[in-house]
């Protein structure tokens, strides 16, 4: 009953985290088995997700539930766009397309952003705390596998210029989660949405795995 909400949400999504992490696409990508095209295609999918997360940040800033979470230093869309210009060329928007699984994920984020602040918090946590954590592993591998400049174009998505100390930031983020202004029942619903957020990520990885296979 007294478990801090940050612990609750982390523990509850532990299994889904392991599943997302161990999808064939992620293992192949991190194992150096895929080309830069697969990495670029994945980055394109992230563009749709972050547009849904950040495109609606205005109204969310006025809800007492979401407002403390809306931190400009987290915004990723400009960085993704710079990465895509590097990966796909200046004309990157012309060939951008969402996989059906990505569209479903982005639609769900947008729906929460418009009508359910608690649900939005679940998606916010799942993405940004993940990017600040495991995202760093992905950056390191990507730099080595495809020769991007350290923390430069191609991997800027993973570089939070405005966050000097990620460990301290994550601690303060967990405090925000612990103080989220909702009742116990709503906390349970947020945990449920977090599990869905992980499942939606896994679906995107599975779809990417069908498009790019190390065995192909
Ligand atoms: C191969 C891919 C991944 C790796 C290697 C990885 C690795 C990690 C690691 C090492 C942590 C713990 C960091 C810490 O305790 O400070 C972490 C936390 C986290 N990851 Fe991942 N991760 C991966 C994929 C994902 C995905 C796909 C998501 C969801 C979109 C995700 C979401 C999270 C979240 C939300 C946390 C924070 C847990 C918490 O402390 O509350 N991760 N990840």
pLDDT digits (tens, 9 = 90+) for 161-184: 999 999 999 999 999 999 999 999
- Residue bearing the CA closest to ligand 1, atom 7: 134
Phi and psi of 3, rounded to 5°?
-60, 130
Residue of 7, 133, 139, 196 to test ligand 1 pocket, by largest number of atoms within 8 Å of CB: 133
pLDDT at 27 over 60: yes
Closest ligand 1 atom to 201 CA: 30
Q: Tens of pLDDT along 49-76?
A: 999 999 876 778 889 999 999 999 999 9
pLDDT > 70: what percent of the chain? 97
* Residue nearest (by alpha carbon) to ligand 1 atom 36: 130
125 assigned to a ligand binding site: yes
CB of 195 closer than 6 A to ligand 1?
no
CA–CA dist 208, 205 (Å, integer): 5
Signed CA dihedral, 20, 198, 61, 66: sign only: negative
CA 91 / ligand 1 centre spacing (Å): 32
Query: SS3 for 8?
Result: helix
Domains of the chain: 5-211 (1.20.910.10)
pLDDT of res. 56: 75
Nearest-atom number in ligand 1 for the CA of 126 is: 35
Nearest to 46 by CA among 80, 89, 75: 80
Coil, strand or helix at 60: helix
137 lines ligand 1 (CB under 6 A): yes
Assess whether the C-beta atom of 200 lies below 6 angstroms from ligand 1: no
Predicted structure pTM score: 0.95
Residue given tokens 């931190």 in the structure block: 71
């Amino acid at each position: 009953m007294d478990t801090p909400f940050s612990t609750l949400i982390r523990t509850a999504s532990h299994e889904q985290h392991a599943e997302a992490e161990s999808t064939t696409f992620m293992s192949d990508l991190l194992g150096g088995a895929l080309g830069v095209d697969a990495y670029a295609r994945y980055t394109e999918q992230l563009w749709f997700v972050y547009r849904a997360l950040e495109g609606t940040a205005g109204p969310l800033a006025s809800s007492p539930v979401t407002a403390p979470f809306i931190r400009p230093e987290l915004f990723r869309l400009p960085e993704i766009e710079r990465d895509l210009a590097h990966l796909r060329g200046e004309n990157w928007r012309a060939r951008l397309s969402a996989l059906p699984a990505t569209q479903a994920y982005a639609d769900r984020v947008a729906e929460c952003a418009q009508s359910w602040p608690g649900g939005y918090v679940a998606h916010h946590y799942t993405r940004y705390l993940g990017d600040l954590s495991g995202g760093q592993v992905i950056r390191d591998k990507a730099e080595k596998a495809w020769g991007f400049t350290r923390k430069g174009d191609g991997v800027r998505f993973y570089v939070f210029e405005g966050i000097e100390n990620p460990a301290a930031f994550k601690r303060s983020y967990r405090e925000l989660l612990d103080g989220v202004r909702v009742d116990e029942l709503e906390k349970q619903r947020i945990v449920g949405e977090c599990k869905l957020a992980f499942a939606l990520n896994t679906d995107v990885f599975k779809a990417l795995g069908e498009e790019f296979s190390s065995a192909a």
